[in-house]
């Protein structure tokens, strides 16, 4: 019988070698955004990076977006032929964008002597529901991807698109769709990591254009990244982070223009941050239904029709005043404002409310950190820091790892700086293995 330390050592070695083997033979999914493949020179650069990953001994699946602003160009063409383009045809149109970039990348790889095959979303087995323009991935069938990998080829997959297996119609996944494609493929094919290449160096503690001292995070947990994404951090969309968390695929957000590590988004981070970062979002509007009679069911009467109309409601705040009526405020993306106003006014009428006010001059600032749940008083410090900077807080919403405040739109940058100065994220506390 072995003594315990020796047995542990054997196990450690086995894991070590197994890891090493895995690392050498492992599958890496790399996703390059529109800026990274914005022109032929950049596409050749991406090919060089993929080739290096290949020569390091990895299998590689590459997911690409459309080149630069190409999707915007296609949308503009659509508006020039139609006032209300059918969503089905819009998807047919937009999917041309990734088709172009994926074929060009395959050519550039071929020029480097690296065998590659490009596949549309449909060919790569990205199955979705039938919601044109905002389809959800329902299943990944990987025959052609596996065939390509088995033939020692780099498999390039068009991001942002899939196919509804019932109707055989081509679909697109909506905002952040290419990231979702990449993480879903990584999960389906058992990749060791999903690398998201972008035009910034990683996830920062705040927007570096606003906060000079903003720092790149080395690691951030899935939960924190979800809160950061929901709070306006544009680096990664929430849906891809959700995939990563569900299937435990580490996501490495890094620059396609610079060498060096970016930010790892993982299940368990080595260091537990009290505060990971400050995020902001200036794309929302606040809708207030004034003087609503304070009686059961009024919230449902308002938010049910909004949900049915597909309006994305973010924050909701309700406060009962002493006279028995109440104001209900909520925020929505500004693109949904018109729709939200119309529904709110109809409901206000039915409920006998005072009226509806829409305010587009707002912004939201959020403090995110998994450690704050075990550190009471963070919210209080947030309000104090904003007050000291003479910034009025109009709405408050919190989760266990986030505090969000709605402020005047022209105060957003001041608020971001005030919170970053106060907390100086990442505020690290060593809690490895702790329940946090």
**Structure letter (DSSP) for residue 206:** S
* Look-up of token digits 């990205």: 126
Taking CB under 8 A as the criterion, the residue among 93, 389, 427, 428 binding its own copies is 93
Candidate segments 22-30, 82-90, 346-354, 397-405, binder of its own copies by CB under 8 A: 82-90
Binding residues for its own copies restricted to 105-164, rule: CB under 8 A? 105-108, 110-111, 116-118, 123, 144
For residues 63 and 98, give the distance between their C-alpha atoms in angstroms, rounded to a whole number: 9
Q: Shortest distance, CB of residue 198 to its own copies, whole angstroms?
A: 21
Taking CB under 8 A as the criterion, the residue among 2, 4, 6, 84 binding its own copies is 84
Q: Shortest distance, CB of residue 55 to its own copies, whole angstroms?
A: 19
Q: Shortest distance, CB of residue 188 to its own copies, whole angstroms?
A: 20
Q: Shortest distance, CB of residue 49 to its own copies, whole angstroms?
A: 14
Identify which of residues 111 and 424 has a Cβ nearer to its own copies in the complex: 111
Identify which of residues 103 and 379 has a Cβ nearer to its own copies in the complex: 103
CA 188 to chain centre: 19
Candidate segments 11-19, 20-28, 79-87, 232-240, binder of its own copies by CB under 8 A: 79-87
**For strand 27-32 and strand 161-164, is the pairing parallel, antiparallel, or unpaired?**
unpaired
- What are the backbone angles phi and psi of residue 299, rounded to the nearest 5°? -65, -45
Identify which of residues 148 and 262 has a Cβ nearer to its own copies in the complex: 148
For residues 425 and 8, give the distance between their C-alpha atoms in angstroms, rounded to a whole number: 37
* Element counts in the chain: helices (H) and strands (E): 12, 22
Identify which of residues 105 and 206 has a Cβ nearer to its own copies in the complex: 105
Q: Is 395 helix (H, G, I), strand (E, B) or coil?
A: strand
DSSP lists the bridge partners of residue 363 as: 407
Q: Shortest distance, CB of residue 63 to its own copies, whole angstroms?
A: 15
Identify which of residues 127 and 203 has a Cβ nearer to its own copies in the complex: 127
Of 274, 254, 281, 256, nearest in space to 265 by CA? 254
> How many beta carbons lie within 10 A of that of residue 224, not counting itself?
26
Of 271, 165, 146, nearest in space to 219 by CA? 271
What H or E segment, with its residue span, contains residue 98?
helix 87-111
Q: Shortest distance, CB of residue 138 to its own copies, whole angstroms?
A: 21
Identify which of residues 83 and 322 has a Cβ nearer to its own copies in the complex: 83
For residues 24 and 387, give the distance between their C-alpha atoms in angstroms, rounded to a whole number: 54
Identify which of residues 158 and 265 has a Cβ nearer to its own copies in the complex: 158
Identify which of residues 81 and 150 has a Cβ nearer to its own copies in the complex: 81
Query: CB-based burial of residue 292 (10 Å sphere; 0-12 exposed, 13-18 middle, 19+ buried)?
Result: buried
Q: Shortest distance, CB of residue 87 to its own copies, whole angstroms?
A: 10
The reply on whether position 8 binds its own copies by CB under 8 A is no
The reply on whether position 166 binds its own copies by CB under 8 A is no
Contact 346, 331 (CB under 8 A): no
> How many Cα atoms occupy the beta-carbon half-sphere of 225 within 13 Å?
30
Q: Is 59 helix (H, G, I), strand (E, B) or coil?
A: strand
C-alpha torsion sign, points 173, 141, 68, 56: positive
The reply on whether position 104 binds its own copies by CB under 8 A is yes
Identify which of residues 19 and 89 has a Cβ nearer to its own copies in the complex: 89
- What are the backbone angles phi and psi of residue 47, rounded to the nearest 5°? -60, -40
Taking CB under 8 A as the criterion, the residue among 81, 212, 300, 390 binding its own copies is 81
Identify which of residues 80 and 308 has a Cβ nearer to its own copies in the complex: 80
For residues 394 and 317, give the distance between their C-alpha atoms in angstroms, rounded to a whole number: 10
Taking CB under 8 A as the criterion, the residue among 74, 291, 317, 427 binding its own copies is 74
Contact 60, 50 (CB under 8 A): yes
- What are the backbone angles phi and psi of residue 433, rounded to the nearest 5°? 85, -10
Q: How many residues bind its own copies (CB under 8 A)?
A: 39
Binding residues for its own copies restricted to 11-40, rule: CB under 8 A? 40
Q: Shortest distance, CB of residue 174 to its own copies, whole angstroms?
A: 17
Binding residues for its own copies restricted to 227-286, rule: CB under 8 A? none
Candidate segments 93-101, 224-232, 332-340, 341-349, binder of its own copies by CB under 8 A: 93-101
Taking CB under 8 A as the criterion, the residue among 29, 43, 365, 395 binding its own copies is 43
**Which residues in this chain contact its own copies in the complex, by CB under 8 A?**
40, 43-44, 47, 74, 77-78, 80-86, 88-90, 92-93, 95-97, 99-100, 102-108, 110-111, 116-118, 123, 144, 168
């Amino acid at each position: 019988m072995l003594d315990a330390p020796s047995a542990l050592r054997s196990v450690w070695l086995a894991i070590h070698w197994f890891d090493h083997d895995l690392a050498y033979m492992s599958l890496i999914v790399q996703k390059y955004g529109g800026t990274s493949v914005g022109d032929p020179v950049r596409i050749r650069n991406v090919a060089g990076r993929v080739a290096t990953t290949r020569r390091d001994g990895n299998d590689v699946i590459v997911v690409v977006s459309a080149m630069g602003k190409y999707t915007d160009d296609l949308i503009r063409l659509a508006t020039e032929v139609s006032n209300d383009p059918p969503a089905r045809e819009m998807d047919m149109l937009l999917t041309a964008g990734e088709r172009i970039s994926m074929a060009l990348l395959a050519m550039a790889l071929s020029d480097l002597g690296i065998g590659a095959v490009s596949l549309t979303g449909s060919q790569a087995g990205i199955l979705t529901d039938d919601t044109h323009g905002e389809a959800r991935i329902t299943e990944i069938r990987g025959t052609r991807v596996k065939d390509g990998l088995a033939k020692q080829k780099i498999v390039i997959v068009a991001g942002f698109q899939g196919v509804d297996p019932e109707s055989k119609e081509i679909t697109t996944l909506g905002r952040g769709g290419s990231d979702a494609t990449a993480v879903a493929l990584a999960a389906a094919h058992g990749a060791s990591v999903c690398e998201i290449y972008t035009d910034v160096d990683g996830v920062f503690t705040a927007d570096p254009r606003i906060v000079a001292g903003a720092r790149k995070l080395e690691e951030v947990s899935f939960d924190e990244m979800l809160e950061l994404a929901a709070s306006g951090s544009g680096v990664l969309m929430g849906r891809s982070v959700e995939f990563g968390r569900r299937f435990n695929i580490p996501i490495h957000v890094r620059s396609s223009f610079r060498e060096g590590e970016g930010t790892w988004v993982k299940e368990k981070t080595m260091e537990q941050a009290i505060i990971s970062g400050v995020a902001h979002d200036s794309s929302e509007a606040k809708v207030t239904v004034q003087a609503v009679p304070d009686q059961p069911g009024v919230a449902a009467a308002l938010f049910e029709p909004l949900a049915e109309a597909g309006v994305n409601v973010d924050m909701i705040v309700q406060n009962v005043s002493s006279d028995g009526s109440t104001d209900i405020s909520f925020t929505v993306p500004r693109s949904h404002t018109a729709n939200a106003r119309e529904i709110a006014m109809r409901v206000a009428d039915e409920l006998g409310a005072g009226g509806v006010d829409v305010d587009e001059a707002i912004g939201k600032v959020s403090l995110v950190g998994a450690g704050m749940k075990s550190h009471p008083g963070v919210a209080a410090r947030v309000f104090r820091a904003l007050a000291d900077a003479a910034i009025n807080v109009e709405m408050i919403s919190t989760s266990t790892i986030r505090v969000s405040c709605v402020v005047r739109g022209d105060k957003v940058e001041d608020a971001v700086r005030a919170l970053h100065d106060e907390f100086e994220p990442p505020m690290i506390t060593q809690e490895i293995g702790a329940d946090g």
